Structures are given as structure tokens and as C-alpha cells.
Structure 1
Amino acid sequence: MPCSRRTLLQTSLGCTVMAKTAGAMDFAAPDWAEPGDRLSPADHPTETLRARDIIAGAPPILVSPRKPDGELRGSRFSQLLILRLAPTANGPSSGRLLGYTAICSHAGCVVSSWIPGLNLFLCPCHGSEYDPARHGAVVGGPAPAPLPSIPLQDVSGLVEVAGHFSARPGGRTGRTD
């Protein structure tokens, strides 16, 4: 039995209102790092990361940003990977202080592993590999996009966020496994 135009419009309007309400509740803006934030190692959240603590060629350090008032940004989406590539690494990034989101661009898992010798980030969930020497480029696995970078600076010996992410951090597939 065909429905009337009025019924169709009412149903469409109801679905639109429900979708907008659900979206407003489920998709609050993440508490991403902002310029001026200082960084704290994930395993020592009350300490502030010093630039001298980031050794060239060493594995990345997982950190969380702190707002200028000292409050820790609590979202896992705010976590960063900080490293300094060895001076022997190819490319313009060698020896510089680099920061990337720690959230995989595939399914939003935390990129928590490092492949020594190859100097690649590894996401343990689905095996995506990223090259920090090539601006976080995907070099293996199912990730659809590079890891967004974030500019950092040394301010009086402390590591500070100097700008915004190069792209929106987070998973792109909708998967959470």
C-alpha cells in the first residue's frame, strides 16, 4: 500500500531529527593537542618532557599533552608519538624533533609499537606501518592515510606543541577492533 506524501515527510523529518540528536551526543570534539601545550610521558604523567630527553635514533616516546594551565588532556585521541630521527636517516627530517598522532588512520587503535632497524611505527591491531622520515607515510598494512603530524618546538628546554595537526587524527574505516 503506498504511503501518503504527508506520512513520508513526517517520517523523513523524524529520522533527520533523530540522526542529528544522536550525532550531537556521540561525536563530541576530541580533546586534541593545541599550540602551547606541554608534553608529559604517558608512563610519567606528572612530569614534563624535556627536549634533551628525546635522543636521536631512539624509539618514539608516547606522550599526552597538558594544557597551559597544567591540566592533562585525557582523551586517548590526544596521545602523541615523539621522536628525533637519527642524523643518518635520509630526508629533511633527520635530527629534528617530530610529533605524530598515536592514533592509527585505519581503525583508531593506538600505534604503540616500533620496528627497530627499519625505524617504522607499527599499529599492533592490523599491522599498519608508518614511516616518520617520510611525513608518516603508510608503508604497509591496511591504513588508508598517513599519520597526521603536529609541529613541536623547544621552549626553554621543554617540548611544546607549536601548531595544529596536519590532518584530522583518527580511524577512517569505522572499525574499532
Structure 2
Amino acid sequence: MTDENRNHDTEPGAGGPERVIGTPRGEDRVVTGAAPEHEDHEGPYSAAETHGRPEEIQRKGERTAAMWFTIAFVGGVGFLVSYFLFPPNAEGEPAIANPLVGQWANMLMGGTLTLALFGIGAGMTVWARRVMPHYEVASPYDELPSPPEQKSSFSDFLMRSADESGFTKRPLMRRTLLLAMAPLGVAPIVLLRDTGPLPRESLRHTLWEPGMHMVVEGAERTGDNKWIHQDDLRDGSMISALPYVEPTAAHPHGLSLNDQAQTVILLIRIPEEDYSEELTREQRNWLHNGIVAYSKICTHVGCPAALYESGTHRILCPCHQSTFDAANGAKITFGPANRPLPQLPITVDEEGYLVADGDFSEPVGPTFWDAQRGN
């Protein structure tokens, strides 16, 4: 069988017309090329064969689709009205004292939104089945790229498709569709209200504040909440620490998991002479007797940078091998991270226990967190 015969078959009987394999025989076969023109069509372009559907049926379909789009508009407006009539509280439930009324409020919002979406779907279905032309066109594969004459005819093809779809010819249906879509376009903006207040500057700060003591990470869960003394660190040693917060009923260990992730630090003691001369005066003032504190959260994707090599003063994140120079403001020496670990100013109290002298120098966490904060 040749390539030409492989893709086509013939009608029963000698000399029957060719058809594409898998398509119906007889009058319902797929049309190859352009479909025959319809004599009663009105518009700048000739419409394709529509199986004899008269203009009256198309107009009836237009009115039916417009009716469904109008219902969808009413449902969308009803959703917005019910949302503002029964505003949600902080927990996301309607702020209504009577639980029964609250349930009806949820049903009203859900029902009107369902009606809006169903109306649009039903209208689009009627549009496709009763207004748009019903024919199939099959074309043989062409060599790529397309010839210039096909490229130049694209605008004509686009306008012909718009005319056949009824979008340009049926203003009632087009206008009611746009009207129905308007409330649904506003709905997502309104629902942003449920996400709570804007974070504003809150994400730029952590719980660290001047005078806050430090405890070893994990000690708060064992009950050994001993504050860290400056003598607990020797040259080349490193301690992972958290701020000391009095336990509460909500947080029996003092800190929530969120707070721990934001405030965890690395305390490292480095001989004074090993610090880089590139440190600014401010960075040196944040040290105490060679002890420096950096955020433990890697600025790449937020993994804990928990490895420290005392010989080279390098902090290593094991996830993607980002490496930071602890003796030079935690600047990057290797890896995908693109900003240093934020530094925490520290000092000591009257008894020599390490305390914070403020918050981090920069927002903690990955750079994309920083971008979301609006920096």
C-alpha cells in the first residue's frame, strides 16, 4: 500500500470518493478542505455548512444563551452581596452569633457562586450547540514552514472564525456574557480579604530584642533552659542557640515552631586576630570577645546551615553546599546563595551571660522570602 492509500479509504463500489480512515461514510463524512458555503448566511465572510440549521434556530439559541448569562450575572452579584452582608470573622466563619444563620450564610454564598458558574457554563454550551456551525474540516499535513500565502491569510481565517462563532454577529449574547463575567472577575479580589491583614513590616523582624538571653537549641525541650555564658564557648567552638522565652500554655517550650525557624542562630567564637579587616565598624561592634552570632537559616532556600569548620572559619549548608566565611561577615565563598547570613548584634549582661543587642541586621531566610517582603 502506498503512502497516499495508507491514509485514505474509498466508499463501497468502484470509483467511490476518498474519505479519511475512521470517519463516517456517506453524507456524514469529514469534509476535506473548505466546506460548501451557506447561501442564507449574512456577514462579511461566508459561513460553512451548518446541517441546514435555519436562522430562526440560531436566534433562539442566542436568546437562550443570553438568558443563562443573565442568570449568571445575577448569581455573581448575589455572591458579592451575600459576602458583604455576612462578613467572615478571623477564623473564616461568618461573623454571626446565631449558628443556624451562619450556616444559611455559607449556603447562600456557595449557592450564588454555583449559580454564576453554572449559568456561564450552560450559556456557553447553548452557544456552541445552537449558534456555532457544525462541521468538520480535515486538511493534509503541509510542509513546514507555512508558505507566504497561508501566513497572509491568517487574519482572514481569524475574522471568519469570529463571524461563524456568532461573537461578532450576536451582540445580545456577547454583551450578556461579558456582563456575567464581570462579578466573577471581582470575586477573587474580594476574597483576598479572607487572607488576613497585610504583613507590612512584620516579616522584617523577629523576636530578638535587646537584653534577651540565649539557650542552646533543644535544651528548652529537655527542661535544661540554662542561659549561655560567654565562657561556654572556646576558640573554634560553635553552638546553635535560640532566644529564651518564658513558657506559656500555648507554647510550653517557650517558642512556636515558626518563631524557632526565624530566630535560631549560630554562636561561633573566633580568635580576634582571625577576623577579616574587611569587617565594618558596625559589624565589629556586634561581636563580643570574639563571639559572633549569625542566622542559621541559609539564604539560598532556607536549609539549616549547621556545619562549621573551625580551621577555615567556614559555615557550610549541607543542602546545596553554600559556604559562608564566619570571619568576614558570613560572606559567600562558594555555592548558590547570593547574600550573606544576617548577623545578630550581641553583648553580655552583668553576670557575663550572652544577650542580644537588637534584631538581625537584615531579614532572615532565603532571598525569595526577602523579595516577598517587598525589599
TM range (shorter): 0.7 to 0.9
Map of 1:89 onto structure 2: 274
Rounded to whole Å, the distance in 2 between the matches of 1:112 and 1:89 is 21
Higher relative contact order (CA 8 A, sep 6+): 1
Verify: 1:131 aligned to 2:325, yes or no. yes
- The code of the aligned residue for 2:359 comes to H
After superposition, residues 30-109 of structure 1 pair within 5 angstroms as: 32-45=207-220, 46-58=225-237, 60-67=238-245, 69=246, 72-74=254-256, 75-91=260-276, 93=284, 95-109=289-303
Q: Cα deviations across residues 26-56 of structure 1 (Å, max 9, x unaligned)?
A: 9x85853222211001143311100111212
Rounded to whole Å, the distance in 2 between the matches of 1:23 and 1:127 is 37
Contact 2:236 2:310 in 1 (8 A): no
Rounded to whole Å, the distance in 2 between the matches of 1:165 and 1:86 is 23
Aligned-pair CA distance for 1:115: 2.4
Q: More helix per residue: 1 or 2? A: 2
Map of 1:142 onto structure 2: 336
Which consecutive residues of structure 2, in runs of 5 or more, have no partner in the other structure? Answer: 1-166, 168-173, 249-253, 370-375
3-state DSSP class of the match of 1:16? helix
When normalised by structure 1's length, the TM-score is 0.80
Q: 1:117 to 1:78 in 2, by over 3 A?
A: same
Match for residue 121 of structure 1 among 315, 320, 335: 315
Q: Cα deviations across residues 117-160 of structure 1 (Å, max 9, x unaligned)?
A: 21111111111111121111111111121111110011121100
Match for residue 172 of structure 1 among 353, 364, 367: 367
Match for residue 4 of structure 1 among 178, 194, 211: 178
Q: More strand per residue: 1 or 2? A: 1
Q: 1:159 to 1:139 in 2, by over 3 A?
A: same
Contact 1:32 1:73 in 2 (8 A): no
Rounded to whole Å, the distance in 2 between the matches of 1:20 and 1:120 is 45
Rounded to whole Å, the distance in 2 between the matches of 1:108 and 1:56 is 27
- Superposition RMSD on alpha carbons, in Å? 2.9
Map of 1:15 onto structure 2: 188
How many aligned residue pairs are there?
A: 170
After superposition, residues 155-170 of structure 1 pair within 5 angstroms as: 155=349, 156-170=351-365
3-state DSSP class of the match of 2:327? helix
Q: Which has the larger radius of gyration?
A: 2
- The code of the aligned residue for 1:169 comes to V
Contact 2:325 2:332 in 1 (8 A): yes
3-state DSSP class of the match of 1:160? strand
- The code of the aligned residue for 1:73 comes to L
Rounded to whole Å, the distance in 1 between the matches of 2:360 and 2:185 is 37
- The code of the aligned residue for 2:309 comes to I
Contact 2:216 2:228 in 1 (8 A): yes
When normalised by structure 2's length, the TM-score is 0.40
Rounded to whole Å, the distance in 2 between the matches of 1:101 and 1:140 is 18
- The code of the aligned residue for 2:268 comes to L
3-state DSSP class of the match of 2:367? coil
State the percentage of identical aligned residues: 22
Contact 2:206 2:359 in 1 (8 A): no
